[in-house]
Amino acid sequence: MVERFFSGKITDTAGEDAGNVMLLSGPPSCGKTSLLFQFAFNAALEGHSGNRDVVFICTRRRLESRPPYLSQGVDPSSDMFQHIQMKYVEDDEAIKKYFAAFHLHHKFPVAVIIDDFGDFFDERTCQERYNSPRGRDLAMVRTLALCRSAILHANKTTPCKVLLSDTHHGDSPRLLFIYKRWIPSVFTIKGDGSGSFLLTNGINSGSGSSGRRRRTAKYSIALQYLFLEDVTEDDDT
């Protein structure tokens, strides 16, 4: 599954499906937005029954100040980019409204991608809204619940995935206790100490997927390109 974040032929093996709701978590400046954008491109490229639509949710100013890099070999003028709909939002309320009305869509996208999900939840605003010091946690839980409900509804008729990204500053994704409740598959990124990064697929212990193989992609960002250097595999014990 880690190959879906890079350019090239994707071959799935038994047990490699990461599910319909996923999180990509990594430290600052590790190329998360570039990985998300390549994932969006691949989702549009594969499509299902002629449907190639992907929705990419982010803030306009952040995307314009730090545009994503493409994998080497991806044509910037490819028609596939026409299928990626950019949806610019400023706060968590806009995301919640989007998923609350998701069931009204005549056609569901093959993927919904949200860049820097946690940053949409302003702590003070959420505390005032819910009149609670844990307001931010409550807001995130409600939005994640809506998100999962919407994706489950869409998958009754057509395959649809949602991929979120978030930034962590330590060994684990921030608010991991919340994410684990709603997201079965978490991809984590860490530096390898030599300028490259390691992207590893993970899965919650309660998901019943013990024994699946853990795959790690080593990648780097150079000359404004996303480079996949190697993919390794070992038993997830």
Query: For 22, phi and psi rounded to 5 degrees?
Result: -135, 155
Q: Check residue 13 and give its pLDDT.
A: 44
Mean pLDDT of 155-183: 84
Mind listing the pLDDT tens digit for each residue in 13-68? 444 556 799 999 999 999 999 999 999 999 999 887 678 899 999 999 989 998 99
Instruction: Give the model's pLDDT for residue 5.
Output: 95
Number of domains into which the chain is organized: 1
Contact by Cβ (8 Å): 17, 161: no
For every residue of 76-99, DSSP letters joined together read TT-GGGGGEEEEE-SSHHHHHHHH
Predicted local confidence at residue 204, as pLDDT: 57
pLDDT of 121 higher than 90: yes
Q: What are phi and psi of 230, to 5 degrees?
A: -165, 155
Residues 6+ apart with CB under 8 A from 44: 52, 53, 54, 80, 81, 83, 84, 110
pLDDT per residue as tens digits for the range 174-226: 677 888 889 989 999 999 999 999 999 876 544 444 556 789 999 999 888 99
**How buried is residue 194: exposed, middle or buried, by Cβ count under 10 Å (0-12/13-18/19+)?**
exposed
Helix (H, G, I), strand (E, B) or coil at 126: helix
CATH of the domain at 159: 3.40.50.300
Could you tell me the sign of the dihedral formed by the alpha carbons of 87, 93, 97, 100, in that order? positive
Q: Specify the pLDDT at position 9.
A: 59
Range of weakest confidence among 30-34, 106-110, 134-138, 171-175? 171-175
Q: Work out the average pLDDT over 78-93.
A: 94
CB proximity list for 13: less than 8 A, separation 6 or greater: none
Min mean pLDDT across 28-32, 75-79, 119-123, 146-150 is at 75-79
Residue-range definition of the domain harbouring residue 93? 2-9+18-235
